Structure 1
Amino acid sequence: MFRHSTRSFIVGLCALAAAAPTSPALAGGPPSPAPHTAARALHTQTLTDLTAAMKGEAYAYAVYNLFAAEADRQGLPTVGRLFRSTAQTELNEHLREAAALAGTVGSNAANLRQAISGETYEHQVMYRSFAEQARTDGDLAAAKLFSEIAADEGRHRDAFRTALTAVTTGGSTVPAPPKADAVPVPAGPPKVKAARTKANLDTALHGEALAHAKYMLFAAHAQQTGNTALARLWEGTAKVELHEHFAGEAVLAGLVRTTKTNLGKAITGEHNEATTLYPAFAKRATAVGDTAAARYFRDTAADEARHAAAFQKALEQLH
């Protein structure tokens, strides 16, 4: 893990964010509600860049855990441990700090309203359109999966609506958490053919990864406020998003290949973040005076460079 010296800073930011009333919407969702008072001081572009960072870090966490499982299957436990430790850094350091800066976590009611908005969009608009497009393009397995996930997201929305009533009025009880039907993700090529389906899968994968990460943050806040039933609902839904939805989409997308290929993909991604993406974010944040965000982007870029170097060393040791 990197940047242990920032831990107290991150925890403090998370505590401030937890006291705030609202936050940006889920990835791929409708227009974001107004950010909370602490985040409102940030420039709009900085908030956009922080959201992009969260989406990328959540995706890296999900993918690296799949890569770790494949390394284990190939009898490469050292590489598996490297992928898992890096995944933890992406989620528990990089994403959490970005979420704190952006004010992603609000009150339990605000978090539920944010999730309801995102789940409604995915249920009514995104996944239905993806399913229709996949059907038109002949990717019937993707069309079926998108339709199934659309229905799941509708159930998630309804559960969150009931939970919101419980939180705000006490007029109902928080629903029991859903159970994830975990999908194994073996190495293999894509199972879709159309470029549009592949692009939609990529959008969906990033959205499911971010939903998982956000819901785990919301669960922690619910637990901190003494609402264990709501925490369980968040955690159960997060597991569905990651182990069922993300995993099912990963199979169709051919996300996991051999460990050598997976390491190469990780190196490319980390190098891009270290040399292009995060430096650009830092430059923009600096230009508008968002110094804390600029520092975060620079520090994260340095971390990603170390990740790229570690993956490169692991790849070289496989030859």
Structure 2
Amino acid sequence: MRTVRMTSTVAVAALVLTFGQPARAAAPTVQPSTRADALTAMHGEAFAHAKYLAYAQEAARAGQTAVAQLFTRAARTERYDHFAAEADLIGFGTDNVANLTDAIRGEEYEAYVMYPAFARQAVADGCRAAADLFTEISVDEAGHAREFRAARYAITHPGADQNFPVGTRVTPVPIRAGLPKCAGQTQANLDAALHGEAFANAKYTRYAENARATGQARLGRLFDNAASQEIGEHFAEEATLAGLVRSTDANLRDSINGEQYEATTMYPSFARRAARVGDASAADLFTEIAGDEAGHAYAFTLALINLG
């Protein structure tokens, strides 16, 4: 795991103590444009992580073990190296109460606004399978919101019942390769939902890590279990409807295109912008990750050639 170097623009860390948690260092300071770019990158890395795990599953099903292992390694790099380093850069997810508040807000939006609207659109587009799935997921997200609210109350009220729910870990649902099952706006909504679920999975695992580091083991379990449903059930079922996974040949081509874009366009532009505003450590990080993504593109290209 890389360590992000701080620049002179970073304020001296201050120690805080909140709701019985161990003292934590204050979040590092970066310019707003750098923070926005880091968050954009984190969304991309979270989606790549989830997508590559799906591609690995298909390669394994087809007996292409080496390619499956390549996708799995790349997925771990995206989440546990790139996403994690970018989160460290901006101090993302370092306060349990703030994390719960963010989770509640996100889950309630999905449960009562986003997914019901997607379900209505799916009915209009004639895709009953998507309408049913969106409705089912909205119920799950409402349940997550209730659990997160109970956890926040327990943490913020000394002497309150600490036996708040820890959720249930779900068994992953296989993703079936194939063409999209819907069209029109519903297909676009499936894509948006896939990105949202992938990011929720990544940030909840980040929140779980912080909870355990601050002595909140039950909260860590709650976030981990919610994360398991976001990727293992919601993302997986949406991926099947969206036609996310195709043949290993097509999956490799998609991965090469994505990695080349990040290596040659996205991360270099983020690095230049960070350098211009004086965030030298961010510029260094973005440049380093660009090099990693170029390496992924090369490895995927070799794998594609070997499929022949």
Regarding TM over 0.5, the answer is: yes
Q: Distance in 1 between matches of 2:277 and 2:138?
A: 39
Aligned partner of 2:229 among 240, 251, 257 = 240
Q: 1:175: Cα distance to partner?
A: 0.4
Preserved contact between residue 30 and residue 279 of structure 2 (Cα < 8 Å): yes
Aligned partner of 1:73 among 61, 65, 71 = 61
Q: Helix, strand or coil for the counterpart of 1:64?
A: helix
- Which moves more between the two structures, 283-292 or 93-102? 283-292
Residue 222 in structure 1 maps to residue 206 in structure 2 = no
Cα distance 1:305–1:92, how it changes in 2: closer, same or farther (>3 A)? same
Q: 1:50: Cα distance to partner?
A: 0.8
Residue 107 in structure 1 maps to residue 107 in structure 2 = no
Question: Which structure 2 residues correspond to residues 83-102 of structure 1 after superposition, within 5 A?
Answer: 83-102=71-90
Preserved contact between residue 60 and residue 90 of structure 1 (Cα < 8 Å): yes
1:72-102 CA-to-partner distances (Å, cap 9, x unmatched) read: 1111101111000111100110000111112
1:103-138 CA-to-partner distances (Å, cap 9, x unmatched) read: 211221111111111111111211111111111111
Residue 288 in structure 1 maps to residue 259 in structure 2 = no
Q: 1:182: Cα distance to partner?
A: 2.7
Residue 55 in structure 1 maps to residue 43 in structure 2 = yes
Aligned partner of 2:126 among 120, 130, 138 = 138
Preserved contact between residue 130 and residue 143 of structure 1 (Cα < 8 Å): yes
Preserved contact between residue 5 and residue 281 of structure 2 (Cα < 8 Å): no
Identity of aligned residues (%): 47
Cα distance 1:181–1:17, how it changes in 2: closer, same or farther (>3 A)? farther
Residue 274 in structure 1 maps to residue 253 in structure 2 = no
Cα distance 1:102–1:235, how it changes in 2: closer, same or farther (>3 A)? same
Residue 161 in structure 1 maps to residue 149 in structure 2 = yes
Cα distance 1:18–1:211, how it changes in 2: closer, same or farther (>3 A)? farther
Q: Distance in 2 between matches of 1:211 and 1:220?
A: 14
Q: 1:242: Cα distance to partner?
A: 0.5
Q: Helix, strand or coil for the counterpart of 2:170?
A: coil
1:156-202 CA-to-partner distances (Å, cap 9, x unmatched) read: 001000000111114232203123253211211111122x1121111
TM-score by length of structure 2 reads 0.90
Q: 1:43: Cα distance to partner?
A: 2.2
Preserved contact between residue 166 and residue 222 of structure 2 (Cα < 8 Å): yes
Q: Flag structure 2 segments of 5+ consecutive residues without an equivalent.
A: 19-24
Q: Distance in 2 between matches of 1:112 and 1:128?
A: 23
Q: Which residue of 1 aligns with 2:190?
A: 201
Preserved contact between residue 4 and residue 88 of structure 2 (Cα < 8 Å): no
Q: Flag structure 1 segments of 5+ consecutive residues without an equivalent.
A: 22-35
Q: Distance in 1 between matches of 2:15 and 2:170?
A: 27
Q: Helix, strand or coil for the counterpart of 1:223?
A: helix
Higher-Rg member (1/2):
2
Q: Which residue of 1 aligns with 2:165?
A: 175
Q: Distance in 2 between matches of 1:207 and 1:92?
A: 18
Residue 303 in structure 1 maps to residue 292 in structure 2 = yes
Preserved contact between residue 4 and residue 285 of structure 2 (Cα < 8 Å): no
1:35-86 CA-to-partner distances (Å, cap 9, x unmatched) read: x9635x3222221111111111011111111111111111110111100011
Q: Which residue of 1 aligns with 2:254?
A: 265
Q: Distance in 2 between matches of 1:285 and 1:125?
A: 35
Aligned partner of 1:46 among 26, 34, 48 = 34
1:230-267 CA-to-partner distances (Å, cap 9, x unmatched) read: 11111110000000000011001111111101000000
Question: Structure 2: which amino acid aligns with 1:182?
Answer: P
Q: Distance in 2 between matches of 1:217 and 1:300?
A: 19
Corresponding pairs, count: 295
1:250-303 CA-to-partner distances (Å, cap 9, x unmatched) read: 001111111101000000000011011111111211121122211111111110
Cα distance 1:106–1:141, how it changes in 2: closer, same or farther (>3 A)? same
Preserved contact between residue 285 and residue 293 of structure 1 (Cα < 8 Å): yes
Question: Structure 1: which amino acid aligns with 2:125?
Answer: D
Cα distance 1:90–1:20, how it changes in 2: closer, same or farther (>3 A)? farther
Q: Provide the alpha-carbon RMSD of the alignment.
A: 2.2
- Which moves more between the two structures, 107-116 or 265-274? 107-116
